[in-house]
Amino acid sequence: MMTESKEIKLIDEEGRRVDGRKPDELRPIRIEAGVLEKSDGSAYIEVGRTKIFAAVFGPREVHPKHLELPDRAVLNCRYHMASFSVDERKPLGMTRREIELSKVLREALETVVFLEEFPRTMIDVFVEVIQADGGTRTAGITAASLALADAGIPMSDLIAATAVGKVAGTLVLDINDIEDKYGEADMPVAMTPRRNSIVLLQLNGRMTSEELKKALEMASQGIKKIYQLQIEALKKRYSVVSLEE
């Protein structure tokens, strides 16, 4: 994000992006709930080539015991990338980036889950990035909140998320890996769509105050669309469940 690319044209003469999208256009998104057998809830998301599984276990016994909270559930969140999910093979073990993202995802999820309903228990959320092509934390939390819903964990709202970037001076919705690498800014945003409130917000890169406000508005519009896809995925899942039962 530090050097503006001299070679790669991030916005062409017609205002199109490297993958042909318009600035405010999302990548193709596929969302599915209930994709894994053994977790209590799960989801799969594809945003362009970004591919992520999320799974939820719990509420279950807290282990180790001393982490237990008397008045609510402990929410545990792990954001993790497969070694082959990125261009250069990621070594095994958690990187500092994965540790930080686990924290911001956990904090966002804590905002919506009714943890008080399950004191002395633990809810585990595992986000596994199997391919990373930009926007993994936002796709990851979108999948994670769906997996929580699939697990029947009560929440005040779903969380939907996307990242707004700035490339060649233009704000663009749902930035991909190349735009992130050669662009000027990457701002992941997660919101509770019904209340239109931010639950996760980060920025890497430079924006003016005005750009930042516009970028938040742009994110908010994209998030509403992603939320619709989540709802559809849940409906599909529930109808399947209904048929099955």
Partner 1 sequence: MSLSTKSPRMSPIKIMQNRIYELLKQGKRIDGRAPHEIRPVSISTSVIEKADGSAMVSMGGTKILTGIKVETGTPYSDRPNEGVFTVNAELLPLASASFEPGPPDERAVELARIVDRCIRESRAIDLEKLVITEGERVYMLYIDIYVLDYDGNYFDPAVLSAVAALATCKIPRYEVRNGKLERVEGESMKTPIRTIPVSVMIGVIQDRLLVDPSPMEERALDTSVILGYDSDSNIVSIQKNAPGLLSLNIMEQIIELGSKKAEELRSILVEAVGLG
Give the 3-state secondary structure of residue 136: helix
Residue 189 CB, nearest approach to partner 1 (Å): 9
Of the candidates 82, 149, 70, the one whose C-alpha atom is nearest the C-alpha of residue 109 is 149
Query: Which range binds a second copy by CB under 8 A, 4-12, 57-65, 119-127, 154-162?
Result: 57-65
Beta-bridge partner residues of 53: 44, 128
Contact between 218 and partner 1 per CB under 8 A = no
Pick out residues in 59-98 that bind partner 1 (CB under 8 A). 60, 67, 69, 71-78, 80, 82-87, 89, 92-94, 96-97
Contact between 93 and a second copy per CB under 8 A = no
Contacted by 66, from a second copy, partner 1, none: CB < 5 to 8 Å by type: a second copy
Query: CA 227 to CA 63: how far, in whole Å?
Result: 33
Q: Burial of 125 by CB count in 10 Å (0-12 exposed, 13-18 middle, 19+ buried)?
A: buried
Contact between 91 and a second copy per CB under 8 A = no
Residue 84 CB, nearest approach to partner 1 (Å): 3
Pick out residues in 157-186 that bind partner 1 (CB under 8 A). 185
Phi, psi of 235 (to 5 degrees): -60, -45
Contact between 64 and a second copy per CB under 8 A = yes
Query: CA 28 to CA 24: how far, in whole Å?
Result: 13
- Number of residues counted as binding a second copy (CB under 8 A): 4
Query: Which range binds a second copy by CB under 8 A, 61-69, 105-113, 158-166, 183-191?
Result: 61-69
Phi, psi of 20 (to 5 degrees): 85, 0
- Residue closer to partner 1 by CB (options 65, 96) is 96
Phi, psi of 90 (to 5 degrees): -80, 130
Q: Of the candidates 24, 152, 197, 228, which one interacts with partner 1 according to CB under 8 A?
A: 197
Query: Which range binds partner 1 by CB under 8 A, 14-22, 197-205, 221-229, 235-243?
Result: 197-205
Distances (CA, A) of 40 to 17, 19, 54, 151, 236: 39, 37, 11, 5, 17
Q: Listing from the earlier edge strand, what are the strands of the sheet with 185-192?
A: 170-173, 160-167, 185-192
Give the 3-state secondary structure of residue 2: coil
Q: Of the candidates 7, 28, 38, 66, which one interacts with a second copy according to CB under 8 A?
A: 66
Q: Of the candidates 29, 31, 33, 187, which one interacts with partner 1 according to CB under 8 A?
A: 187
Q: Of the candidates 8, 201, 229, 231, which one interacts with partner 1 according to CB under 8 A?
A: 201
Q: Tokens 């916005």 map to which residue?
A: 11
The residues that touch a second copy, with contacts defined as CB under 8 A, are 63-66
